[in-house]
Structure 1
Amino acid sequence: MGNTLPLFHALKNRSLLILLVLVAVTGWMVIDELRSSWLQAHYFASLARRLDYKLEKGPSPSIRFPKAGPYDERLGYGRIQEYTNSLINHGFIVTEQVRMSPALLESKLAPIYEEKDQAGLTLLDRHQQLLYAFLSPMRVYRNFDVIPKILVDTLLFVEDKELLDSRYPTRNPAVNWSRLDRALFDQALHVIHRQHNTPGASTLATQIEKYRHSPEGRTLSIHEKFLQMDSASIRSYLQGRNNMASRRQIVVAYLNTVPLTARMGYGEVSGLGDGMWMWYGRDFDEFNHLLQRQGDESLQQRAEAYKQALSLIIAQRRPSYFLREGAPVLARMTDHYLRLLGAAHVISPALQKAALPMPLPLRQGLLVPQANSFVSHKAANLLRNDLLSLLHVPNLYVLDRIDLNVKTTLDANVQRVVTDLLRQVQSPAGARAAGLYGHNMLGENDDPQRLSFSFTLFERSSHANLLRVQTDDLDEPFDINSGARLNLGSTAKLRTLITYLEIMTRLHQSYAGMNQRDLQKIQAGSQDTLTRWALSYFSQNPHSRLQDMLEAAMARTYSGDPAEAFFTGGGLQKFKNFEPEKDNGIMTVREGFQHSVNLIFVRLMRDIVHHYEAQTVSSGIVGLVKIAPSDHNTATGTGAAETGEVSVNPSQLNQLSLFADREGRKFLLRFYKKYKGKSPDETVQTLIDGIHARPKNLALIFRSVEPEASFSQFTTFMYQQLPEAELDKKSLQVLYDQFAVEKYSLMDRGYLAGIHPLELWLVGYLFHHPKATLTQLVKASDQQRQDVYQWLFKSHNRKAQESRIRQMLELEAFQMIAADWRRLGYPFEALTPSYATALGASGDRPDSLAELMGIIVNKGLLMPIVELQDLQFAKGTPYETHLINQPAAGVRVVPVEVTDVVRRSLIDVVQGGTGIRLKDGVGENGQVIEIGGKTGTGDQRFVTYAPNGKLISSRAVNRSATFVFLIGDRFFGTVTSTVHEPYAADYKFTSAMTVQLLKSLLPVLELPPS
């Protein structure tokens, strides 16, 4: 028993010793872990290896996108699925997309990867050359080594002193234990003493996670803080347990991306580089050079730059306050830190002394962006606007910041060379070098600087029409090719010719192969010259092929005589030819097209209109309205002014009422489709866009749509629509009073405005009832449908009756012609109801003419136009998604026989007509590529006629010259020149100038042989 007690004490002392040793070892391990994070490094590095991803073919079954966070929102990562769905709906397909590992897919954290400090929209051309790039932030450090040491030391002193401690190469940068302890202590004191400050415990790593991935860039809960710490921890070990390189990259990322609020005129400011420029106007390269220099000669400049950088490092804590109304507080805090940095020997006493008295003049107010030439960015802006529409992005600001690379169809080299040449020809020397001075071009004293030139080139491929060049020399956002409604002159004859040949095609389908007896039973209207000619043709050639009939139709003859006055557009009008020697000739349609003879096509358009009027008559008016033939020679198109008689059978008024109801419903449906879904203002603007805006027309529309509006509202509307018109208050008052809604019937208002009355009524109704359904419109328009048609047939005033009916029939005929033209790419809803439409009076757009030429080059197929080929979202990230444009197959819109005839006619224009300057074509290794096209000279004027058709006044508003062309069987496009008032009247150039301009461009287009 005596030996037992000492043994017990010995064992007890040994156990205590072991316990003490274990406690000591555990304590040492904890302390070592807090310093080195060795265990954390092993755990987080192992976890990081499992959070991987890879890019594979086709859509991904294992991908997720972030839900919140300013970084993910700005770069578009959170909406990639939406963008993808929209693109798929527009013919794109997903070719490659990331597959996430199960661990990454199931993780509750935002995907962990090496994030980009700088990203944005990049547009590449067909050869992968840069067309456009916007990178945000604009000014960044490429790596750690280029950052001035004094800047790194300052950042670490202010925010995270232990981050780059090389004694611990595995330390977790997401947690700074000493800072965390201090934060907890301060928080406890804050509970007792509410005025005590509570600085955060966030390290640089967790701050980055917060402002990139936390909702609104803020820590809204303890849970959110732990998510930030987890994400930062894993991210720091992506390259393994030794994370010194990752910790250095944290410094780079922070300096490049720290949020520094927003500037008016620019937007969100991120990173020290952009911050120095946006808030202090300091060049980034100069700033870095100053901080890296030594010596007294640059001390003052270095001190100023350093103090500004220090202020931004401090300002990140509350940037929207410190960089605005809190600027005085920021200045005091900056001076405080200058003293601390000097005391800690981070900066020299000399630098501290020089910096302390310096002010911090923050730039305030609207930041005026640097002026850039719109000319050099026309193509890029076109593509960016297309992307806006495809991705449903609200504006270019948002689009430019999406992490997106786009391969386009444009050729950057050719685009640049053509743009430079268009700029050069705006000088007299450049215009002379291009051969633009001479007969029917620029006069000896003409200044080409007043002119704007544009050029578009497409290339046909097996699946689409590819845009290669689209540019102009107008240094404004406005795009001549796609943004204007221009009078492009006789290019409208191309659309008119196709309409004519399509009518002949339909007549061939109806009557080819009929025997004589059946042909004789067909009653063609007395004015339907085209149908009567077709019946005569088939009586002699009953089994004629379509191709043969079209050739015969091109051989039909018309007179070039300008003496006749034509009843069109609501009155009598006269037309003239450009070349007087064509006045007395009888020409075939082919010859008239080749030499662009106006009166040939005015008379051809009259026959087209009468043909469509006959279709309207045959649908319900026959027996109710009798239209006597006009007194003109149907063989040559000559004769006196049109005075056809109209009468109505009074016994058939009930049939007339049924007709009015049926026809009215048909037009209401057409107009409802046109305006459905538009806002009230958009509805009115769409109506105005379809007419030539003149004071009378606009006054009628406004007073019809808003009859209760005040004179002040009326004047505001008129000045908005006609900003350059000389309208005084007195003349506006006359218009306001003259066109009060109670002074004219609906029919009269439509008649005076040149708009179908039911369309005018519908716009007014939708303006006040924008959500009205078609059923409601039909019910509300019962009386209007009757009024629009029935009153026409009251016989108390035969002359007015004839005029109104003839205009109504012409208006409806032009509705049908407009539908034909829109099917072939015409960009506007309505045509001017006048034979002058054949001469360009209804306006057009160069890019729409190019689309029409594409139909001809593709032998009647309407092929999709492709500008954007490949889209690559979020390259190098877990969200990476690739799509390519796979457009739908072409649609036949014109018979191949028609396009064959039109193509030959276009080549005739160059071989012996108005495009003869290009007769020799373009050569390639001795091979000649054939060129065809149609010229057009637009002379847009505001004109006034007397009731007898005599011209009273004329004012030049715009002059244009256009050549829409094809080159071989692959290339087509347009070249256009325009000049607006007040200079339009000073120029007399014709389309000969644009033909010559294309000739000068051919050598630089680098067109391969067909």
Structure 2
Amino acid sequence: MKRNRAYHLRRFFLHLLVMTPLYMILLGLIFFVVGNEIKTSKLQAKIFTRIASKLTYRNEAGKSNSICFPAAGPFDLRMGYSQIPEWVSMLEKRYEVKLQARFSPLLLELTQWGLFPPYHEKTQVGLNVSDCSGEKIFEASYPQRVYKSFDSIPSHVVNALLYIENRELLDNRYPWKNPAVDWGRLGRSVIDLGLSIVDEGHKKIGGSTLATQLEKYRHSPEGVTGSVVEKLRQMVSASLRSYMDGPWTLNTRKRIVLDYINSIPLAAAAGYGEVNGLGDGLWAWFGADFDEVNSLLGAGKENIGSGDLGKTALAYRQMLSLFLAHRRPSAYLITERSSLHELADSYLKLMADDGFISTELRDAALQVRPVFRKDRQFNYPSSSNRWKAVNLLRTKLLSTLDVPNFYMLDRLDLSTQSTIRMDIQEEVTEVFKNLKRPDVAYAAGLRSHYLLETGDPSNLIYSFSLYESGKSANYLRVQTNNYDGPFNIDESMKLDLGSTAKFRTLVNYLEIIADLHNRYSEVSRAVLDIQTDLIRKDGDRLTLWALEYLSNSPDKGLRPMLEAAVDRTYSASPAESFFTAGGLHTFHNFHKTDDTRIMTVREAFRNSVNLVFIRLMRDIANHYMFQAVGLNPAHLEFMEEAERRQYLMKFADREGKTFLNRFYQKYANKKPEEAFDRLVSGIQNNPARLAAVYRFVKSSDGIEKFSDFITDRLPNSTLSPETLYHLYEKYGPDSFSLADRGYIARIHPLELWVVRYKYSHPDAGLTEFIGASAKERQEVYKWLFKTRYKGAQIRRIRTILELESFQVIHKEWKKLGYPFDFLVPSYATSIGSSADRPHALADLIGIIVNDGVKYPVIRFERLHFAKDTPYETILEPDPSSGERVLPAEVAKVVKGLLLDVVQAGTARRVANVLLDNDGKAIDVGGKTGTGDNRYKTFGAGAQLIGSKVVSRTAVFVFLIGDRFYGVLTAYVAGEEAERYSFTSALPVQVLKILWPKIKPLITG
């Protein structure tokens, strides 16, 4: 045993004696290879170059199924790369993906693992907008001040950065050097990390190179290194990016320096926002001129102190301070500026000691302190005619992409081609600006009756939109106004547009006739006679007329029936009082000469006669009432009790659930306060109505909140505290039944209940609403069965049925683009009491131009995201077939009536005036409207105690030829509106003035 042990021991020492030199040689070789690799990165260059060569992408037509968008990197979010999938999804109903990048298989796999794709990233991006011809009309670039190339950077700027961050980065002795890893710095950071675990007070240094810092603040979540895994991701991604152009990296390293200087994050400055890059940092934090700083720092010169040493020293210190501030930008640039000055002092001394700067520059720089600027604001030029279109387009992009503000929009990597014809846009804007000058307005013939006979032209706002109908879309060509600001009057205001409501009423009327034709045109004469007798008894005049027409007319085609329908006659007399909106109302015509006449719908539309359309709206409302309960409510008075009760039970059971469902859908996506605001926005500003609603919905609120609500809604009222208290008590939650409260407020009682229920059950679904409302649905209609006061009962039934008929009318109007969520339930809606928007009227006439087909309105012909990146995506309008919303015959008849308005009616000023290039008159049609919007103040008992004009509006919605349509609005707001007497003749006359400017587009 001992001899064996000695034997093995001798063999071990012999082996050790023989092999140790070999082990030392091998170990030395390993150290040599590793050391050489650390110095030269030759092996890394081969590996990463080979991998990077396979990390490619290409662009192909259509939507990509091999693409991976970035998650949450600051630059990816700022430039919009992360949001592209969401935007594509949002826009898929109107746009299609024409082109998108495709990742190579390996690139797709690695990015799905979490690596950042290697490509030449942009340091300067921003929103670009061009007009329909491709002419650039807006360009935002962030950062705004950048170096275009490495050679344009003063060498002393580069040297200062490298001294602070990575002194050997540009060492040209090692052409394969991996700039993503500084092994010495990384090793020290690992040691420091270990020591900090033992000693919490031990100071750590970062191990990041400029290359990994770029990856971090561009692509890592929130721009920070949150874990060791995140650090590895940065290093590998930076390495792949470094070798994407091949194994030699000197040019890549120069590009890293260039990109870093141009994009370094420097906190956010008040009045400016996020600051990136040295150039913008100098301007935003110190108010320094970028070009002047570069001149002082001597781009291309060695001796930077040869000029004004004081200015040079300040510029150098400003530059140095910003590079140092990157370590803790918010602290050093905002809250701890004295610490930044101390840090800069220490670096100036070290740099002079190491020979990086002269002692003269050091001493001069130590004597100055950069002064942080207090005022900084970037303002776009807002006075140019071009800027008006740009603002309108940018505003539309905000809503299209659901971007919160211009600040974020302008920093997206997005190029758009709009549909705007910019040359004409600018000329129209210039005309509008000039028309504010009295001398120009009067010279243009606007100082006459119905125009600007009174009032100051300088206070008048003109707004104009012109669209072109294409094969599968309508294209906005001009949209402008002379309002001093970005507000879009056509699309953003709720305006009283007067008689243009007759346009919607006429279309609604002809839709009903078309529906009746579809229902009865194939029915036999015998059945028609039976139906006629039934309808004659119940009083639905529109259905009765349709049945009689189809019974007696030899031509039962739709077009002849529609033409006959517009030749039906009505009285224009204002002598009748109309029971509508819960009370008796009278109406007046614009021209008293019409008062004694009986005229056709065609003539009334041509000359905009109010009383004919009031009576037509009554027939429309009664028609929908008949559809709801099977009879004219006026005939309830003459029914036997049992028969009337049967009708009422049928009505109550069906309508309760129907309207609960409708009101649930109306408020489904609203928070309780939003639902309440929407509810009261449809109520007349009457103390009793407001009190009835508030005390029911917000029954627990005290007198103070109630009083604040009433005074907010009635700012000019004279209601005393005593009166407010009386209202508070009178309309308390237990003072009236739900049905009575709805009657007082002129709101369907179930709508009131739905809004109140949302306060206690904000997340309830429809099933819960229906289940919880069983008692209320019975209560709402219980009063219908009481017979003590038959007259009051009939009036209430009529009011409720009228509310419901206007719900149906609203649905029909909404289908054709009506912009608001409710109509005033009154015959006066036919003459403008429910308001409108100019662009919505343009949408309606666009449907007429397109023979009843609704096409989307396109403002952008192309949205080009992330050009020259792996995320490149191009969206263009989807060639849609459109949606038929009107029978073609209805559209053709309406178009004929619109042409008649111009040839012989209220818009005849423009008849035979718009001539083509051969001198031939172009067909023009349209509808005019004048709105005199008054603020009415009511006292106790709903008594009108005050009325004043708050705005005046005149509008002309028009079509020109077969392809073009639009709307022109004149508007004046405020107390001075009372001084004006213009009518819709004004926008018609202004269209004549605009014709020479828009003719090149129309005649093309």
Same fold per TM (> 0.5)? yes
**Partner residue, 1:810:** 802
The code of the aligned residue for 1:893 comes to: V
Q: Tell me which of 589, 606, 615 is aligned to 2:601.
A: 589
Does residue 325 of structure 2 align to residue 325 of structure 1? Answer: no
| Match runs of 1:588-987 below 5 Å | 588-618=600-630, 627=635, 649=641, 653=645, 656-693=648-685, 696-718=688-710, 732-733=724-725, 735-886=727-878, 888-926=880-918, 927-943=920-936, 954-987=947-980
Q: 1:419 to 1:752 in 2, by over 3 A?
A: farther
Q: Tell me which of 483, 489, 499 is aligned to 1:480.
A: 489
Distance in 1 (CA, whole Å) between partners of 2:500 and 2:34 is: 86
The code of the aligned residue for 1:300 comes to: G
CA contact (8 A) 2:67 2:871 kept: yes
The SS at the match of 1:743 is coil
Q: Tell me which of 994, 997, 1002 is aligned to 1:1004.
A: 997
Output one character per residue of 1:775-801: Cα deviation in whole Å (capped at 9) or x when no partner. 332233333333333314533334433
Q: Tell me which of 500, 513, 520 is aligned to 2:509.
A: 500
The code of the aligned residue for 2:668 comes to: K
Cα deviation, residue 101, structure 1: 2.4
Q: 1:717 to 1:284 in 2, by over 3 A?
A: farther
**Partner residue, 1:436:** 446
The code of the aligned residue for 2:580 comes to: T
**Partner residue, 2:585:** 573
Identical-residue share of aligned pairs (%): 47
Cα deviation, residue 434, structure 1: 4.6
CA contact (8 A) 2:589 2:595 kept: yes
The SS at the match of 2:91 is helix
**Partner residue, 1:235:** 241
Cα deviation, residue 117, structure 1: 0.9
Distance in 1 (CA, whole Å) between partners of 2:707 and 2:318 is: 52
| Match runs of 1:286-301 below 5 Å | 286-292=292-298, 298-301=308-311
**Partner residue, 1:307:** 317
Q: Tell me which of 54, 65, 88 is aligned to 1:50.
A: 54
Moved more, 663-672 or 537-546: 537-546
Output one character per residue of 1:819-850: Cα deviation in whole Å (capped at 9) or x when no partner. 22112111122211222111100111111111
Does residue 559 of structure 2 align to residue 550 of structure 1? Answer: no
Output one character per residue of 1:902-931: Cα deviation in whole Å (capped at 9) or x when no partner. 111111111121111211243332143211
Q: Tell me which of 424, 427, 445 is aligned to 1:417.
A: 427
CA contact (8 A) 1:457 1:469 kept: yes
**Partner residue, 1:83:** 87
Considering only aligned residues, what root-mean-square deviation do their CA atoms show, in Å? 3.5
Moved more, 823-832 or 712-721: 712-721
The code of the aligned residue for 1:57 comes to: A
The SS at the match of 2:82 is helix
Output one character per residue of 1:9-35: Cα deviation in whole Å (capped at 9) or x when no partner. xxxxx9999999999998777666544
Moved more, 913-922 or 314-323: 913-922
Cα deviation, residue 555, structure 1: 1.9
The SS at the match of 2:894 is helix
The unaligned stretches of length 5 or more in structure 2 are 1-17
**Partner residue, 1:115:** 121
Q: Tell me which of 335, 350, 353 is aligned to 2:345.
A: 335
Distance in 1 (CA, whole Å) between partners of 2:141 and 2:173 is: 37
Output one character per residue of 1:412-457: Cα deviation in whole Å (capped at 9) or x when no partner. 333333333333323324433554332211125x222322222122
CA contact (8 A) 2:634 2:794 kept: no
Q: 1:946 to 1:560 in 2, by over 3 A?
A: farther
The SS at the match of 1:508 is helix
Distance in 2 (CA, whole Å) between partners of 1:980 and 1:739 is: 35
Output one character per residue of 1:267-293: Cα deviation in whole Å (capped at 9) or x when no partner. 432222222233223343444344348
**Partner residue, 1:215:** 221
The code of the aligned residue for 1:413 comes to: D
Q: 1:715 to 1:281 in 2, by over 3 A?
A: farther
**Partner residue, 2:161:** 155
Distance in 2 (CA, whole Å) between partners of 1:684 and 1:947 is: 23
Distance in 2 (CA, whole Å) between partners of 1:513 and 1:57 is: 50
Q: Tell me which of 63, 70, 88 is aligned to 2:67.
A: 63
**Partner residue, 1:142:** 148
CA contact (8 A) 1:647 1:793 kept: no
Q: Tell me which of 398, 402, 412 is aligned to 2:412.
A: 402
Cα deviation, residue 115, structure 1: 1.0
Output one character per residue of 1:344-401: Cα deviation in whole Å (capped at 9) or x when no partner. 443344433332232343357x966537639866655655565555555565554443
Output one character per residue of 1:642-675: Cα deviation in whole Å (capped at 9) or x when no partner. xxx5666157646633431222112222222222
The code of the aligned residue for 2:333 comes to: L
The unaligned stretches of length 5 or more in structure 1 are 1-13, 629-644
Distance in 1 (CA, whole Å) between partners of 2:175 and 2:766 is: 74
Distance in 2 (CA, whole Å) between partners of 1:237 and 1:950 is: 82
| Match runs of 1:1-400 below 5 Å | 33-88=37-92, 90-107=93-110, 108=113, 109-180=115-186, 183=189, 195=201, 197-292=203-298, 298-363=308-373, 370=379, 373=382, 380=390, 383-384=393-394, 387=397, 391=401, 397-400=407-410
Please, what TM-score do these two structures have when normalized by structure 1? 0.89
CA contact (8 A) 1:69 1:216 kept: yes
The SS at the match of 1:468 is strand
CA contact (8 A) 2:462 2:970 kept: yes
CA contact (8 A) 1:48 1:238 kept: yes
Cα deviation, residue 47, structure 1: 3.2
Moved more, 22-31 or 998-1007: 22-31
The code of the aligned residue for 2:465 comes to: T
Cα deviation, residue 195, structure 1: 4.9
Cα deviation, residue 337, structure 1: 1.4
The SS at the match of 2:477 is strand
Cα deviation, residue 79, structure 1: 3.9
The code of the aligned residue for 1:258 comes to: I
The SS at the match of 1:627 is helix
Distance in 2 (CA, whole Å) between partners of 1:18 and 1:392 is: 70
Distance in 2 (CA, whole Å) between partners of 1:130 and 1:738 is: 64
CA contact (8 A) 1:914 1:992 kept: yes
**Partner residue, 2:11:** none
Moved more, 662-671 or 779-788: 779-788
CA contact (8 A) 2:697 2:756 kept: yes
Distance in 2 (CA, whole Å) between partners of 1:468 and 1:656 is: 54
Cα deviation, residue 610, structure 1: 2.5
Distance in 1 (CA, whole Å) between partners of 2:710 and 2:945 is: 24
Q: 1:696 to 1:121 in 2, by over 3 A?
A: farther
Q: 1:64 to 1:79 in 2, by over 3 A?
A: same
The SS at the match of 1:879 is coil
CA contact (8 A) 2:498 2:831 kept: yes
Q: 1:200 to 1:952 in 2, by over 3 A?
A: closer
The SS at the match of 1:496 is helix
**Partner residue, 2:527:** 518
Distance in 2 (CA, whole Å) between partners of 1:133 and 1:688 is: 43
Distance in 2 (CA, whole Å) between partners of 1:250 and 1:946 is: 73
